[in-house]
Amino acid sequence: MIFPKDTREELDAFYGKHVIGADGKPTAKWEQEHLQLFKVPYPLTLSFDKTVTVTRIRCHKLVGESLIHIFEQILEHFGNLEEVKRARVHLYGGCYNFRPIKDSVRLSTHSWGAGIDLDPERNGLGKPHDPTKGMMSLDVVKIFEKEGWKWGGRFKSRPDCMHFQAAR
């Protein structure tokens, strides 16, 4: 799929314009209209609370199918859950989260449910990609990119190797 450019205008136009409520958050109406729960093909573990297993992801309804297809391909590529875990791509750092990009006023693609973080522990924001340090698998990057997603590891200003987004 051709996803929008990573600008407020294009993201609003493609994913639904954010109307910010009095509490500074999107309205429940926006969330109801645009977000949906999607069942993932293998269980994920919350990266910030490893006692929690996640079987469904709440993301934008326009990216859910693509995301599920990506997870299917990841599972297929690694062959089984044990190998997926060895590559640490079961460690889920979150998807929908209304917030600005760190140290910026721009909204993150997470704000539209169109961004996902995997294995934040080893792929900290600002850390350039180093495959010798067990950082994001480039095979996983390839799978996301084939689906039209952009990898944060390619951000020029500041790499964000945990991050993938359905925006260019």
Among residues 92, 110, 114, which one has the least CA distance to residue 101? 110
Q: Which residue has the closest beta carbon to Zn ion?
A: 163
- Determine, following the binding rule CB under 5 A, whether residue 60 of this chain makes contact with Zn ion: no
Q: Which is nearer to Zn ion, 34 or 163 (CB)?
A: 163
Taking the complex as a whole, how short is the minimal distance between the CB of residue 118 and Zn ion, in angstroms? 9
- Determine, following the binding rule CB under 5 A, whether residue 117 of this chain makes contact with Zn ion: yes
Q: Which is nearer to Zn ion, 68 or 125 (CB)?
A: 125
User: What three-state secondary structure class fits 36?
Assistant: strand
When computed from its CA atoms, the radius of gyration of the chain, rounded to whole angstroms, is 15
- Determine, following the binding rule CB under 5 A, whether residue 163 of this chain makes contact with Zn ion: yes
- Determine, following the binding rule CB under 5 A, whether residue 150 of this chain makes contact with Zn ion: no
Taking the complex as a whole, how short is the minimal distance between the CB of residue 107 and Zn ion, in angstroms? 12
Structure tokens at 154: 């390619």
> What are residue 97's DSSP bridge partners?
none
Contact assessment for residue 14 and residue 3, using Cβ atoms and an 8 Å cutoff: yes
Question: In this structure, are strands 91-94 and 150-151 parallel, antiparallel, or unpaired?
Answer: unpaired
Taking the complex as a whole, how short is the minimal distance between the CB of residue 6 and Zn ion, in angstroms? 12
Question: Interface residues with Zn ion (CB under 5 A)?
Answer: 115, 117, 163
